Amino acid sequence: MKKRSDSDGKLLLITIDGPAGAGKTTVSRMLSDRLGYKYIDTGALYRGVAWEAKKAGISHDDDAGLEKLCGSLRLEFVRDTNGLHLFSNNSDINGEIRTQEMSMLASSVSARPVVRKYLLILQRELGKGKGAVFEGRDMGTVVFPDADIKFYLNASVKIRAIRRYNELSDKKDSSTLEEIERDIRRRDENDSTRALAPLKPAEEAIKIDSTDLNVESVVNLMISHVQKHLMH
Smallest separation (angstroms) from ligand DC to the CB of 140 = 10
What helix, strand, coil percent values describe the chain, rounded to 5?
50, 15, 30
Binding string, 110-149, against ligand DC, x = CB under 6 A?
x-------------------------xxxx----------
Asked if 103 interacts with ligand DC (CB under 6 A), we say yes
Q: Which stretch binds ligand DC (CB under 6 A): 3-11, 68-76, 106-114, 220-228?
A: 106-114
In whole angstroms, what separates CA 29 from the centre of its chain?
11
We find the least distance from the C-beta atom of residue 9 to ligand DC, in angstroms, to be 29
Say if CB 86 and CB 25 are below 8 A apart. Answer: no
Return the number of the residue (7 or 13) whose C-beta is nearest ligand DC: 13
Q: Output 10 or 79, the one with its CB closest to ligand DC.
A: 79
Residue 87 exposed, middle or buried by CB count within 10 Å (0-12, 13-18, 19+): middle
Q: Which is nearer to ligand DC, 52 or 138 (CB)?
A: 138
| DSSP E strand stretches across the chain | 13-17, 38-41, 75-80, 83-88, 91-92, 132-136, 149-154, 206-209
CB 173 within 8 A of CB 100: yes
Interatomic CA distance for residues 217 and 26, integer angstroms: 12
- The residue among 35 and 122 lying less far from ligand DC, judged by its C-beta, is 122
Per-residue contact track with ligand DC, 8 to 27, x per CB under 6 A? ------------x-------
Strand-strand pairing, 132-136 and 38-41: parallel
Q: How far is the CB of 1 from ligand DC (least distance, A)?
A: 25
Please report, as ranges, the residues that interact with ligand DC according to CB under 6 A: 20, 42-43, 46-47, 103, 106-107, 110, 136-139, 187, 191
